[in-house]
């Protein structure tokens, strides 16, 4: 079978196709190499993701521990504040009772003095 195309045009077409195939189209080995690079990149990303996940877990555990410590400290402070407030309240109550006792004694003394004065009249 013969085609009526001049030899120089046929060579030009073949050269253009050859140029296109070698520069633009990928070969099987090109695709294999690309697949290997993608797998390597995927594996590296997985390792980085696992490392980041593990670091975040450690930080979360550390923060949780700090929160627990802070909560316990606040509980102790609150208990100490309650105890201090109870002592202060008891102290104020005793002082008030003493003052009321003095006032009662002073009032009785004054009443007695007024009655004694009135009896003398």
> Is residue 104 domain-resident?
yes
Q: Which domain holds residue 66?
A: 27-120
Average pLDDT by stretches of 10, the chain with 121 residues? 76 86 83 96 98 97 95 96 95 96 95 92 79
> Is residue 17 domain-resident?
no
Residue 26: what pLDDT?
82
Residue 2: what pLDDT?
62
> Is residue 41 domain-resident?
yes
Residue 120: what pLDDT?
87
Separation CA 88–CA 107 (nearest Å) = 28
> Is residue 52 domain-resident?
yes
The torsion of the CA quartet 106, 107, 110, 111, rounded to 10 degrees, works out to: -150
Alpha carbons within 13 A on the beta-carbon side of 66: 6
Domain count, the chain: 1
Residue 22: what pLDDT?
79
Residue 53: what pLDDT?
97
């Amino acid at each position: 079978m013969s085609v009526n195309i001049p030899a120089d045009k046929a060579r030009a077409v073949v050269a253009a196709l050859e140029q296109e195939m070698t520069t633009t189209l990928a070969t099987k080995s090109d695709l294999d190499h690309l697949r290997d690079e993608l797998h390597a990149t995927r594996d590296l990303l997985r390792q980085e993701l696992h490392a980041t996940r593990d670091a975040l877990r450690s930080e979360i555990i550390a923060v949780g521990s700090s929160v627990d410590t802070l909560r316990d400290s606040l509980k102790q402070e609150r208990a100490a504040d309650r105890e201090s407030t109870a002592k202060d309240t008891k102290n104020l109550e005793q002082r008030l009772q003493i003052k009321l006792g003095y006032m009662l004694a002073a009032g009785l003394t004054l009443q007695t003095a007024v009655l004694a004065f009135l009896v003398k009249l």
